[in-house]
Amino acid sequence: MRIYPKYTEAELKKLGLVGKLPEHIGIIMDGNGRWAKQRLMPRSAGHRAGMEALQDIVRTSHSLGIGALTVYAFSTENWGRPAAEIDALMSLLVEYFYKEIDELDANNVRIRTLGELSRFAPKLRTLMETAVQRTENNTGLNFSIAINYGSRAEIVRAVKMLVEEGIPAESITEKCFAEHLYTGELPELDLIIRTAGEQRLSNFLLYQAAYAEFVFTETLFPAFTPEVYCDCIKEFMHRTRRFGKVKE
């Protein structure tokens, strides 16, 4: 089992990462299908390669000292894909949780899921719920997997929760609303990276993205190495964030 190193200031400097790192990064992991197509392989092979790329990204996030990493693994719209592809994705997810949980836990990673789990087969659902429970007291990287996730569904769910809790309209604030989203306990989203060239959110973290920076890379997710990841973070670190104010 690998214990991930923590980079020192000097190592971060060597990587060109000087300054304030993003606290919370979201990644839209896109391009698995195109990666496989380029290699005349089935789309499922692209998803497998994507899963392997993800392992390195999680390790790197830990090493860099990023507070929270949220990855988009399966959208509410992805149910519209062919059944064989969905089956392959579900099997990969089962494999991922089986294989990775011990290492993630040993590295103090806290796992969360974003999305409605009731639609998944009991085996996968139990695996995910067990991983979440097992790591809930971990204090390292907050690693969240958006699965059967759609931001519109998330917002509607939050509204329903507020109504069911009987919270009067005048008590509903942005803070209280945000606490009812899946990301309620996570820090503010700073950076969204989307691989594979498309420049859209595809229903990912709409509310949370209000002041996030966007970095788009042409790299397909299976080819998204820690080096490319660091380049995206570097780009973020060169941005000027104004939050509506005037920067002197």
Q: Is 115 in the site for ligand IPE (CB under 6 A)?
A: no
- Please give the C-alpha separations between residue 220 and each of 63, 96, 196, 197, in angstroms, as whole numbers: 23, 20, 4, 8
Least distance in Å: CB of 220 to ligand IPE? 7
Among 93, 128, 196, 233, binds ligand IPE (CB under 6 A): 196
Structure tokens at 242: 């104004």
Q: What share of the chain is helix, strand, coil (3-state, %, to 5)?
A: 50, 15, 35
- Please give the C-alpha separations between residue 227 and each of 36, 141, 230, 234, in angstroms, as whole numbers: 21, 19, 5, 10
Q: Which stretch in 67-75, 105-113, 159-167, 234-242 sits in contact with ligand IPE by CB under 6 A?
A: 67-75
Q: Is 75 in the site for ligand IPE (CB under 6 A)?
A: yes
Name beta bridge partners: 142. 68, 110
Interface mask toward Mg ion for 29-68; x: CB under 5 A: -x--------------------------------------
Least distance in Å: CB of 27 to ligand IPE? 9
Q: Is 120 in the site for ligand IPE (CB under 6 A)?
A: no
- Run of H or E residues at 97: helix 83-106
Interface mask toward ligand IPE for 26-45; x: CB under 6 A: --xxxxxxx-----------
Q: Which residues bind Mg ion (CB under 5 A)?
A: 30
